[in-house]
Structure 1
Amino acid sequence: MEPHFWHQRWQSARIGFHQREINPHLRACWQHTGAPPNTEVLVPLCGKSRDMYWLAEQGHAVAGFELSPLAIADFFAEAKLTPKREPSGLFVCWQHEPFRLYEGDFFHADALGRQFDLAYDRAALIALPATMRPAYAALLARLNNPGGRVLLVTVDHDAQAPSPPFAVNEAEVRTLFEPCFEVALLAHLEEGARNRRVAAGECTFFDEWCFLLTRR
């Protein structure tokens, strides 16, 4: 998962991971974060996710991190917003309230010196191969204040294709995050044949999991 992989995906519009609808786990489970409306939400590897619109509708500011400038440009164009762009450390910050989207490698987010009380991850952890997930979990821990909460959505499946979304089951989530977070399972959805990969014979099951992580 080198940067050029994601740049190529956006340049060729191979973005099957992008959801046109608001994620149902976000709608159903966000209340468990207990978040005050004005709290800023960290969204790693945000792409042009429509989930960020929903968070803004709940009164939140959004701090997204995205490698591809095409994804960020699409997000603001589809929202009919014209952002300001300015350097911010190792990043370029695209800003139009309530959105600040940082163009650059999320693994350098430490350099901004920012910390958060809320985060939302639908497609970041499952976009990373196993070798990169421990570093991601450690970075998320550093970026969250004590007591900070993360709503995490993962998937589990038995597809053999070595490409995202990767399977990250409950056991792996606990291994990755329990050293620094309390981990609570909020929802488990077995999609079965309703999932297009199962229907196409790419895998025999495809499950979605939603967790609440609370920074110790």
Structure 2
Amino acid sequence: MDAEFWHQRWQTSRIGFHRSRVNQQLQQYWQELAVPDQAEVLVPLCGKSLDMHWLAEQGHRIAGFELSPLAVRDFFADAGFIPQQHRLEHYLCWQAVDFNLFQGDFFQAESLNKRYEAAYDRAALIALPEPVRSLYARLMARLLHPGGHMLLVTVEFAPAQSDTPPFSVSEAEVRRLFEPCFEVTLLGCIEEGMSNPRVASGERTFFNELCFKLVRRQ
């Protein structure tokens, strides 16, 4: 899952992780986080997600981090925005309206010397191989203010073996990764069942989407 892997996925349009509509559990549970209006929401590995537009419609500013310049370009082009660009530390920053998208390696985010009140992750954790997930969880803890909230969406499926994303990340693993620094609450679970093509084909026995509220410990 090195940088070249993701650049190739975007260059060849193999972006099955991109969704053409806003995530259902984001819409259902975001208000439970009670994130203040105008709070800046951190969105790691954001791609060109439509979820960022929905969050902006709730009154939030968006700080997205994305490796692929194609994804960032498409996000603004699809919205009809003409972004300004400038260099900032390890990133090329694209800015328009309420969106600041930082093109570069998310794991360099601390170089910006900034912490956030809230975060949203639908496709970041499940895109990371197991050895990297603990690094990601610790980084998220450092990037959020004490008391900051995060809405985390993962998928869990069986058999869990997979060579490429998305990876299965269970409730037990979420708690193992995040509970040292966060209070973790399972908010919801969508059991896709036969509506999921991998279940329908017999490749998976089940495929669930889990949604968690994480609160950064003081």
Q: Please state which band the TM-score falls in when normalised by the shorter chain.
A: over 0.9
Identity %: 59
Aligned to 1:51: 51
Aligned to 2:94: 94
For residue 97 of structure 1, report the CA deviation from its aligned partner.
Answer: 1.7
Aligned to 1:177: 178
For residue 200 of structure 1, report the CA deviation from its aligned partner.
Answer: 2.2
Q: Give the secondary structure class of the aligned counterpart of 1:38.
A: coil
> Quick one: distance in 1 between partners of 2:201 and 2:28?
28
Q: How does 1:115-154 map to 2 (within 5 A)?
A: 115-154=115-154
> Which consecutive unaligned segments of at least 5 residues does structure 2 have?
none
Q: Give the secondary structure class of the aligned counterpart of 1:53.
A: helix
> Quick one: distance in 1 between partners of 2:117 and 2:102?
18
Q: How does 1:52-71 map to 2 (within 5 A)?
A: 52-71=52-71
Stretch deviating more after TM superposition (200-209 or 99-108): 200-209
Aligned to 1:76: 76
Q: Give the secondary structure class of the aligned counterpart of 1:65.
A: strand
Q: Which amino acid aligns with 2:52?
A: M
Q: Which amino acid aligns with 2:76?
A: F
> Quick one: distance in 1 between partners of 2:117 and 2:201?
40
> Quick one: distance in 2 between partners of 1:52 and 1:158?
30
What TM-score, normalized by structure 1, do the two folds share? 0.99
> Quick one: distance in 2 between partners of 1:37 and 1:145?
16
> Quick one: distance in 2 between partners of 1:199 and 1:75?
32
> Quick one: distance in 2 between partners of 1:14 and 1:202?
20
> Quick one: distance in 2 between partners of 1:76 and 1:118?
22
> Quick one: distance in 1 between partners of 2:37 and 2:52?
14
What CA RMSD, in Å, does the superposition of the two structures yield over aligned residues?
Answer: 0.7
For residue 7 of structure 1, report the CA deviation from its aligned partner.
Answer: 0.2
For residue 82 of structure 1, report the CA deviation from its aligned partner.
Answer: 0.3
| 2:12 is the alignment partner of 1:12 | yes
> Quick one: distance in 2 between partners of 1:193 and 1:163?
22
For residue 39 of structure 1, report the CA deviation from its aligned partner.
Answer: 0.6
CA deviations 1:51-100 (Å, max 9, x no partner) are 00000111110000000000000000000000001001000100002000
> Quick one: distance in 1 between partners of 2:162 and 2:44?
24
Aligned to 1:25: 25
Aligned to 1:38: 38
- What is the total number of aligned residue pairs between the two structures? 216
Q: Give the secondary structure class of the aligned counterpart of 1:203.
A: coil
Q: Which amino acid aligns with 2:92?
A: V
Aligned to 1:103: 103
